[in-house]
Each structure stands twice: as C-alpha cells, then as structure tokens.
Amino acid sequence: MEPSINPYASPGSRELNETARAAVAQASTGRHARFSSARPRAKRVVFFFYTAMLLLLAELAYHCTLVVFLLRAESGLGVSSGEATGLAIADLSLTLLHGGVRLALFVLFLLWFQRAYRNLPSLGAAELSSSSTEAVLCFFIPFLNFMRPYQLAQEIWRGSDLSELDPEQKVVFSSALVGWWWAFLWISIFLRMAAWYTNRYTGLAGNTLVAGEALVAVWFSMGAVLMQMIAALLGLHVVKTITTNQDEKWRRLATQGAALTAEA
C-alpha cells in the first residue's frame, strides 16, 4: 500500500528548495502568513495542565474519602456533623479551584491553538479548511465542537510535521495522539454528566441522601477524574510536540531560504 500524501506539510527533500523559497516569501508578506512561535503561549498552557493534574489528584483523594463515608452511611454507622462539614468545605474548595484553573487553561489553550493554526501558511501548508479565528470559534458552537476542533488539531499536527520536510526524521508521536487526547477528553465529559445526573436525580429521595445511589455518582466522578488525567497528559504532549515541531520546521525552512538567498 502506498503511503498517503500529507497535503498540509511541506514536500519531501527533493522539493525542499522550492518549499523553503515559497515559505520564506510567504513569511515576508501578509499579516496571516508571518510565523510567530507559539512557545510562550505553550509554556502557560503546560503550566496550567500540570496545575490541573495536581487538582485532579486532590479530587481523586476527596472522592476516595467520600466513598468511605458513604459506605459507612450505607452500613448504618452514620457520619458526624464535623465530618460532613469537612467534606462540604473540601467539595466547595475543589469546585472553586477547578473552575478557575479550567477556565484559565481553556482560554490559554485557545490562544495557543489560534497561534499554532495561524503559523501553518508560513510552514508550507496550503488549502487550509479554516481561518485562525474560525478555528477558535468552532469550540463554542454546539454539536460542531464535538468533532471540528479535533479535525483542526489534526490539520495543525500535519502542517507541523517534520517527517515530510525530512524523510529521515524520526517520528516520536503520530497524529493518533491527537485522536486519543480528544477521545479521552469527551469520555471524561460524558462521565461528568452521568455523575451529575445520578447525583441530581437518583441520589436523593426528598431531602434524604440515598447512600447506595450517591455512591454510583461518586464512581462516575472518579472515572471522569481518571479520564481527565489521561486527557491532560495526552494534551500536554500534543501541545509540546506541535510547538517544538513548528519551531524546528521554521528554523530549517528559514536556514534553507537564507542559503538560497546567499546563492542568488
């Protein structure tokens, strides 16, 4: 089977001179064609990814404690008012911290995503399916945000691919990494929704907690936390790999373009 052609990356080494010449020409004209490293934005995204993972570990510990208390309540041993207050405070604190970190991570990720997509023309990508602004807006459109951001992330990955520029380049991560990241992210979202529904509609009978059914909601939440941790780890590698590849690809194209200019 013949290998598929990457339409978003520069051609192979036999056409490298023309690619470098075209990329450098693009970079020198047009606001959207200029390359600007996404690394400063990527550093902020990475920091908040690590912060989110630490909070997820804290949330996992909280849920483990909650399981113990629910099992005690189900067995009839009960929970003291002090323990219930402590759990309520921990839940509120984690909710507020998570909300702030997730919002910051989402905003910073979108800024990085926009910059990474805008860099593609400078790296030799042609016939892009969106603009950098539309690439960000699709995250906010219901139903469209289920698959469109993933498709654009794949477009960024392919446009930043070094193996097309240099056939001898060792590929550390394939574009499947983007697919796994997106899959685990949505699995975690669905588990969160299941936990909310179970806790909201089946965990209470009037004002009385039904421990067994509340326990199911906690298991859903713990599953969501684990999926989120995996998604965060994969997302971290996606951001790092794309950013590194874009910087390196631009460096090689600029070096080749400078050599061509010197020869001329």
The per-residue pLDDT for range 191-248, each reduced to its tens digit, is: 999 988 887 765 444 444 555 667 888 889 999 999 999 999 999 999 999 999 999 9
As for how many domains the chain has, the answer is 1
In a domain, 147, yes or no: yes
In a domain, 5, yes or no: no
In a domain, 177, yes or no: yes
In a domain, 7, yes or no: no
Report whether 241 contacts 156 (CB < 8 A): no
Give the pLDDT confidence of 99-128 residue by residue, as tens digits.
999 999 999 999 999 999 999 998 888 778
Q: What is the pTM of this model?
A: 0.81
In a domain, 1, yes or no: no
- Which of 17, 52, 86 has its CA nearest to residue 236? 52
pLDDT of amino acid 210: 55
**5: number of Cβ within 10 Å:** 9
Q: Which helix (H) or strand (E) holds 205?
A: strand 204-205
Range of the domain at 79: 38-255
Instruction: State the Cα–Cα distance between residues 246 and 66, nearest whole angstrom.
Output: 45
In a domain, 73, yes or no: yes
Instruction: State the Cα–Cα distance between residues 127 and 137, nearest whole angstrom.
Output: 19
In a domain, 19, yes or no: no
The DSSP code for 162 is: S
Burial of residue 174 (CB within 10 Å: 0-12, 13-18, 19+) is exposed
